[in-house]
Structure 1
Amino acid sequence: MIFTETAWKVFNQSIIDYHITDNVDTPVNNPYSKDSLEHLLYAKNWIDTVQWHLEDIIRDENIDPTEALKLKRTIDDSNQKRTDLVEYIDSWFLEKYKNILPNVDAKINSETPAWAVDRLSILALKVYHMKLEAQRESASDEHRKNCSVKLNTLLEQQEDLSEAIDQLLFDIENGNIKMKVYKQMKMYNDESLNPILYQNVKKCVN
């Protein structure tokens, strides 16, 4: 099976599994072997799916400010886990392609395979929820029609992005593109890099 076909299948399985309970506190029950790429893809999309719904909840205008702050912290933590999973997936690809010698004229892509896969995971969520809106009986005909048009655009994006990812992997495998990975080095969660955090640490020490 083509890689993006596998990824899309895994992403949608994760989304469907989440919506069995539709609760952000539901623990993940990853059905794939821990040493498999599918395990990483499922874990990645599960984080994305939970965060999607956390972002919905925090936009409630009537939310308690204290609860909103707790949710913001949870979303920050989720973003860090999302970044970590992307880097794990890139590490999987690096291991797979470690013996491939790039051609002399090999180029560097603007994003790694895993960050492109990250976009595909989010796109799977957009497709799922836009399809719900296009079929929502309580919505107006105009709303359903507009969402159907948007859904078709998202599905076209899926085809294009999938083709681009598979082409990228093909080019890496054939030495036309050299795979190079940089750590994201997120600063906002790091007590040594975020001025607000390290100033608070200094205050506590004093």
Structure 2
Amino acid sequence: MNFTDTAWQVFNKSIEDYHVLDNVDTPINNTFPTDSLERILYAKNWIDTVQWHFEDIIRDENIDPVEALQLKRKIDASNQQRTDLVEFIDSWFLDKYKNITPKTDAKINTETPAWAVDRLSILALKIYHMSLEANRESASEEHRLNCQKKLDVLLDQKKDLSTSINQLLTDIENGDVKMKVYKQMKMYNDESLNPILYQKEQK
């Protein structure tokens, strides 16, 4: 089984596990072995899945403003966790390929393996939820047909993205692509970089 097949299975297990209770407060129950790649991928998708539903909730026009602010803080924290875990996955790949010497003419990809994996994780969520809509009995036939068309596009995208990720990993293994990682350096959560936060401290 190639990497993306494994990742896809893990992502869908996470999504299915979440929807047993379908509650953003459900604690994660990651049963994959400690230090395994599968455990890391499951944790990554669990964050994405919970945040997906945070984003649904906060779009309720009747949400209490206080609750909305609290939820916005949770979304910010979730975004930071997501970024941290993506960078951790890239560290895993860097360690895996540490003994690979890139060729002198090796290319640099536009994104790292982990950020491509991040897109695959989100795509798994899109496909899961679009499939629900394409088969929702309470919806109109027109709605279901429109969602089925979108689902077909998403499934095609999944095929292409999976192929691209596997090709990227093969190119890194062969030395045809040099893996280079840049930290995201997000500023909005950093009290020393966000002017709203550090100006508040100076008052």
- Deviation digits for residues 21-77 of structure 1, max 9, x if unmatched? 100000101111120111110000000000000000000000000000000000000
Please say if 1:37 is aligned against 2:37. yes
Q: How much does 1:136 deviate?
A: 0.3
- Deviation digits for residues 144-195 of structure 1, max 9, x if unmatched? 0000000000000000000000000000000000000010000000000000
Q: Tell me how far apart the structure 2 counterparts of residues 201 and 8 of structure 1 sit (CA, whole Å).
A: 45
Please say if 1:134 is aligned against 2:172. no
- Deviation digits for residues 119-163 of structure 1, max 9, x if unmatched? 000000000000000000000000000000000000000000000
Where does residue 11 of structure 2 map in the other structure? 11
Listed as ranges, the matches of 1:1-206 within 5 Å are 1-203=1-203
Q: How much does 1:200 deviate?
A: 1.3
3-state DSSP of counterpart to 1:149: helix
Residues 27-36 or 148-157, more deviating = 27-36
- Deviation digits for residues 90-113 of structure 1, max 9, x if unmatched? 000000000000001001000000
Runs of 4+ in 1 over 6 A off after TM superposition: none
Q: Which amino acid aligns with 1:153?
A: V
Identity, in percent, stands at 77
TM-score, with structure 1 as normaliser: 0.98
Q: Number of paired residues?
A: 203
